[in-house]
C-alpha cells in the first residue's frame, strides 16, 4: 500500500501535467491590429472615410475616436441596443475580433480639425459646453467630454471637431428616445431646446 507521501506526490505530478497541457492548449491573448482593421473596414470607409478628410456631415467622423468607444457602439448596433438599420446590418457580420481591429485602425489616425460656422451662437454654445444650464440641471458637457472635447475612454467619446450636423442629430435622437443606449445623455438632451442643441453642436465642431 502506497504511503501518504507517495500518493500526494503522484497527485501533484498529475495536477502539474494537467496544468501544462492546459497552458499548451491556451490561445494567446487577442491583440487588436490596425493593419487588419484597415482591411476589415473597407466597407465602413464608404461612409466614414479614412484618408483624413471629414466626409459627409450626416456620418460621424471615426478617425481619432477612442477604440473602446467604437467597439462599444458596434457591439450595441449588433445587439440592437442602439438602433440604426444600416449599422445593425454592417455590425451583424463582424466578429468581436474584427470590431477591435477596425476600432484600432480608426483610433490610430488623427482627428481632422473642424470649425464652428455660426458666429452668432458661439457664445451660447460655449456657455452650455463649459458651464451647463443650472436652471434646468444641464451639466457642463466638458465635465465628461473634457474641455477640448477629447472625451474619456470608453464611455465618453471624443466629440471635438465632430460634424455639428451629426452631433445635433444625436442630441435630438437622445431627446426623442430613438437612441436609447445612454441614459445620462437621454436625460440631458431632454432638457435642451432646439436652439441650444444647434449652438452647442456648432461650438463642439470647432474644439480641438
pLDDT in tens, 137-158: 999 999 999 999 999 998 899 9
Q: CA-to-CA distance for 160 and 126, rounded, in angstroms?
A: 13
- Residue 45 Cα to chain centre, angstroms: 17
* Cβ neighbours of residue 9 closer than 8 Å, sequence gap 6 or more: none
Averaged pLDDT for residues 113-127:
97
18 has pLDDT over 90? no
Averaged pLDDT for residues 55-68:
97
Q: Which residue shows C-alpha cell 458637457? A: 141
Note the pLDDT of residue 195: 98
Averaged pLDDT for residues 174-190:
97
Averaged pLDDT for residues 154-166:
96
Note the pLDDT of residue 5: 58
Higher pLDDT, 110 or 15: 110
Q: Which residue shows C-alpha cell 461612409? A: 47
Average pLDDT, the chain: 92
pLDDT in tens, 89-115: 999 999 999 999 999 999 999 999 999
Note the pLDDT of residue 28: 84
Note the pLDDT of residue 176: 98
Note the pLDDT of residue 13: 59
Q: CA-to-CA distance for 128 and 189, rounded, in angstroms?
A: 12
Residue ranges and CATH numbers for the domains of the chain are 34-107 (1.10.760.10), 122-205 (1.10.760.10)
Least confident of 23-37, 79-93, 122-136, 140-154: 23-37
pTM of the model: 0.86
Note the pLDDT of residue 154: 86
Indicate the pLDDT class of residue 52, thresholds 50, 70 and 90.
confident
User: Above pLDDT 70, what percent of the chain?
Assistant: 88
Amino acid at each position: 500500500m502506497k504511503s501518504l507521501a507517495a500518493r500526494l506526490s503522484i497527485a501533484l505530478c498529475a495536477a502539474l501535467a494537467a496544468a501544462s497541457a492546459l497552458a499548451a492548449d491556451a490561445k494567446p491573448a487577442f491583440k487588436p491590429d490596425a493593419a487588419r482593421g484597415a482591411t476589415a473596414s473597407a466597407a465602413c470607409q464608404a461612409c466614414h472615410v479614412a484618408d483624413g478628410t471629414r466626409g459627409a456631415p450626416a456620418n460621424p467622423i471615426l478617425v481619432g475616436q477612442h477604440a473602446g468607444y467604437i467597439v462599444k457602439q458596434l457591439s450595441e448596433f449588433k445587439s440592437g441596443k442602439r438602433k440604426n438599420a444600416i449599422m445593425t446590418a454592417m455590425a451583424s457580420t463582424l466578429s468581436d475580433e474584427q470590431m477591435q481591429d477596425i476600432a484600432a485602425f480608426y483610433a490610430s489616425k488623427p482627428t481632422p480639425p473642424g470649425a464652428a460656422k455660426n458666429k452668432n451662437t458661439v457664445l451660447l454654445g460655449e456657455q452650455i459646453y463649459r458651464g451647463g444650464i443650472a436652471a434646468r440641471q444641464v451639466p457642463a458637457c466638458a465635465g465628461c467630454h473634457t474641455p477640448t472635447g477629447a472625451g474619456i475612454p470608453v464611455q465618453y467619446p471624443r466629440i471635438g471637431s465632430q460634424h455639428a450636423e451629426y452631433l445635433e442629430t444625436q442630441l435630438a435622437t437622445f431627446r426623442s428616445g430613438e437612441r436609447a443606449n445612454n441614459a445620462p445623455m437621454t436625460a440631458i438632451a431632454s432638457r435642451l431646446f432646439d436652439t441650444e442643441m444647434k449652438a452647442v453642436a456648432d461650438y463642439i465642431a470647432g474644439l480641438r
